[in-house]
Amino acid sequence: MPSAPAIRIAALTKRYGSLQALAGIDLDIAQGEFFGLLGPNGAGKTTLISALAGLVRADSGTLEVMGHNVVTDYRNARLKLGVVPQELVFDPFFTVREILRYQSGYYGIRGNDKWIEEVLSRLDLLPKANANMRTLSGGMKRRALVAQALVHRPPVIVLDEPTAGVDVELRQGLWQFIKELNAEGHTIVLTTHYLEEAEELCGRIAMMKTGRIVALDTTANLLSRFAAHSLEEMFMEVIRRD
Amino acid sequence: MTNPLPDSFSASSLIGFRTLLHKEILRFWKVRFQTVAAPVLNAVLFLLIFSHVLDRKIGEIPYTAFLVPGLIMMSLLQNAFANSSSSLIQSKISGNIIFILLPPISCRVFYASYVLAALFRGLFVAVGVWLVSLFFVDLPMAHPIWALAFALLGGALLATFGMIAGIWSDKFDQLAAFQNFLIMPLTMLSGVFYSIHSLPPLWQKISHANPFFFMIDGFRYGFFGQSDTSPWLGLSVVGFCFLALAALTLVMLSRGYKLRG
């Protein structure tokens, strides 16, 4: 029996008042893929990720993570998913290590210190492990967000613009870590405005525009189909079209 | 990296509950001068000022002694409300509520953790006010079980109401409206500072529509064995209000009202 896709999205719609944020999304992402979700601001990428994570309730359609419906089987679906949010959100009352211990507990994990230390180490966060979150720089806060998404070792990891406002050194380190996770079998879904990153990392890409997927293929095929030399060229071409 | 998750959801839920409860308690404890010491000081100031100005008796009970249980309960209720409501609105506005919404935390675990943590804060403050008041007045304890029952049920009721206010409010001024236009007047008009028998008949009747009156009156019964109304009636009213608000909160949480878009 073939394994379930890491993510399955069928006929998904979401409307905010008069704005159709998602207008019938169909998308399967296989286990182990490094998948890029691209599009201009307001295309619906974050709404799609939020629906997948259960932060937003879709109007219609279905979403599954590793075969688990995110509404009817939300516990299993959420256990399989790690999300790095776009906004730099943090709890100002706690240290980095404390938030990682709490996050582990929310997922029902006790005694997770060994893994927490490893995540801290691989994200170069160990020197700041006992620092209060509000004292960290933007880049360090971003790393802490990534660490929080990984505490329960989810097989599917969604990164919503994880390198926004992050310096080159951290970006390189972060991508190295994410590539290693992908090589270990984790499915990675990435949204980013740094198109060269998506071109380098993603095996397959979906382009979204006004709540729809307007292009979906392997990165190589997309470049070839649009006769583009880079994703940026292709991106601009897609944006120009009606 | 292999998945280390526990075998059953019940074990997972228990760990989630203990973690969220611990986090919520530590959240107010880290700023205990603001969340515990300051309310105790406020209550003691009330005690000093009112007992100095009003040197008389309520029935056979000296006014200062009469005042203390009301102040203890008022502090408990206000702080239970403040804890759950402020925690939720701060998390919503700063966006870090996402860390509780992403994991598989059930509505019941969410609710129980926030209410218990708020109740703990209320009880911390209440015990603080009680201990300090012992320096000023000899307090009997006629029915400690009654006092405890009203403290726990009243605290849970206000903690639950705080959750509703925190979930419903989108801005700090909306939450402040709950506190200034609902909690504060209902508390002040509940008999903390007076016996409702001293009121005109119409206002006595109106007081019976105020659940805070039953909480204060029932709690005071635990100290003096005397009350304005039957403690059983008070417990029934407070219990009914608690169950109704708890059910409403669970519905709000299960529907993701103002939490999940």
Mean pLDDT of chain A, nearest integer = 91
Dihedral angle computed from the Cα positions of residues B78, B84, B87 and B89, in that order, rounded to the nearest 10 degrees: -90
User: Does A44 contact chain B (CB < 8 Å)?
Assistant: no
Structure-token pair, residue A12: 């998904």
Tell the residue number behind the tokens 């525009």, with chain if given. Answer: A209
User: Does B141 contact chain A (CB < 8 Å)?
Assistant: no
Cα–Cα distance for residue pair B221/B207, rounded to 1 Å: 17
Cα–Cα distance for residue pair B126/B124, rounded to 1 Å: 6
- pLDDT tops 70 at residue B5: no
Residue type (1 letter), A119: V
Cα–Cα distance for residue pair B73/B149, rounded to 1 Å: 12
Phi/psi of residue A184, nearest 5 degrees:
-80, -5
Cα–Cα distance for residue pair A212/A108, rounded to 1 Å: 36
- List pLDDT tens digits, range A157-171: 999 988 877 778 888
Interface probe with B: pick from A56, A71, A87, A93, most Cβ of B within 10 Å: A93
pLDDT of residue A195: 85
pLDDT of residue B87: 96
Verify whether the Cβ–Cβ distance A57 to B256 is below 8 Å: yes
- List pLDDT tens digits, range A92-106: 999 999 999 999 999
Helical spans, DSSP H, in chain B: 9-29, 32, 38-53, 63-94, 98-101, 107-133, 144-168, 172-178, 184-188, 201-207, 211-224, 231-255
Confidence of residue B155 (pLDDT cuts 50, 70, 90): very high
pLDDT of residue B1: 58
Residue B197, SS3 per DSSP: helix
pLDDT of residue A116: 96
- pLDDT tops 90 at residue A148: yes
Confidence of residue A58 (pLDDT cuts 50, 70, 90): very high
Closest A-chain CA to B28: A93
Verify whether the Cβ–Cβ distance A152 to B5 is below 8 Å: yes
Verify whether the Cβ–Cβ distance B99 to A103 is below 8 Å: yes
User: Does A76 contact chain B (CB < 8 Å)?
Assistant: yes
Cα–Cα distance for residue pair A226/B103, rounded to 1 Å: 40
pLDDT of residue B3: 54
Q: What percent of chain B has pLDDT over 70?
A: 95
State the ipTM, two decimals. 0.91
What value does the mean pLDDT take over residues A116-141?
A: 92
- pLDDT tops 90 at residue B6: no
Provide the number of CB pairs (under 8 Å) joining chain A to chain B: 110
Structure-token pair, residue A127: 């020197």
Residues of A in contact with B101 (CB under 8 A): 54-55
Helical spans, DSSP H, in chain A: 45-53, 74-79, 96-106, 113-122, 138-150, 168-183, 195-201, 219-225, 231-240
Q: DSSP state, A4?
A: P
Number of H helices, E strands in chain A: 9, 10
- List pLDDT tens digits, range B98-136: 999 999 999 999 999 999 999 999 999 999 999 999 998
pLDDT of residue A229: 75
Q: Name A185's Cβ contacts closer than 8 Å, sequence gap at least 6.
A: A31, A32, A155
Mean pLDDT of chain B, nearest integer = 91
Indicate the angle between helix axes B231-255 and B211-224, nearest 10 degrees: 130
Tell the residue number behind the tokens 């994570």, with chain if given. Answer: A53
Pairing mode, if any, of strands A7-16 and A60-65? antiparallel
Query: Rounded to an integer, what is the distance from CA B140 to the centroid of its chain?
Result: 23
Structure-token pair, residue A97: 């290590």
Residue A217: C-alpha distances to residues A171, A202, A213 (Å): 26, 11, 11
The alpha carbon of residue A185 is apart from the nearest alpha carbon of chain B, in Å, by 9
The alpha carbon of residue B81 is apart from the nearest alpha carbon of chain A, in Å, by 20
Q: CA nearest A207: which of A48, A30, A63?
A: A48
Verify whether the Cβ–Cβ distance A55 to B104 is below 8 Å: no
pLDDT of residue A2: 61
Interface probe with B: pick from A91, A133, A156, most Cβ of B within 10 Å: A91
- List pLDDT tens digits, range B45-84: 888 888 777 767 777 788 888 899 999 999 999 999 999 9
Confidence of residue A8 (pLDDT cuts 50, 70, 90): very high
- pLDDT tops 90 at residue B97: yes
Cα–Cα distance for residue pair B91/B231, rounded to 1 Å: 38
Residues of B in contact with A105 (CB under 8 A): 15-16, 18-20, 22-23
Dihedral angle computed from the Cα positions of residues B65, B187, B81 and A92, in that order, rounded to the nearest 10 degrees: -90
Tell the residue number behind the tokens 């204060």, with chain if given. Answer: B216
Inter-residue contact A100 to A125 (CB < 8 Å):
no
Closest B-chain CA to A94: B27
User: Does B209 contact chain A (CB < 8 Å)?
Assistant: no
Bigger pLDDT: B227 vs B165: B165
Q: CA nearest A146: which of A188, A200, A199, A194?
A: A188
Q: CA nearest A6: which of A68, A73, A99, A71?
A: A68
User: Does A75 contact chain B (CB < 8 Å)?
Assistant: yes
- List pLDDT tens digits, range A37-48: 999 888 999 999
The alpha carbon of residue A58 is apart from the nearest alpha carbon of chain B, in Å, by 9
pLDDT of residue B2: 53
- pLDDT tops 80 at residue A16: yes
Inter-residue contact B234 to A29 (CB < 8 Å):
no
Interface probe with B: pick from A46, A100, A106, A115, most Cβ of B within 10 Å: A106
Cα–Cα distance for residue pair B119/A242, rounded to 1 Å: 57
pLDDT of residue B204: 85
> Sign of dihedral through CA atoms B98, B100, B106, B112?
negative
Pairing mode, if any, of strands A60-65 and A68-69? antiparallel
Q: Name A113's Cβ contacts closer than 8 Å, sequence gap at least 6.
A: A101
Indicate the angle between helix axes B9-29 and B63-94, nearest 10 degrees: 110
User: Does B91 contact chain A (CB < 8 Å)?
Assistant: yes
Q: Name B235's Cβ contacts closer than 8 Å, sequence gap at least 6.
A: B149, B150, B153, B214, B218
pLDDT of residue B55: 66
pTM of the predicted structure, to 2 decimals: 0.91
Domain range summary for chain B, segments of one domain joined by +: 10-255
Residues of B in contact with A92 (CB under 8 A): 94
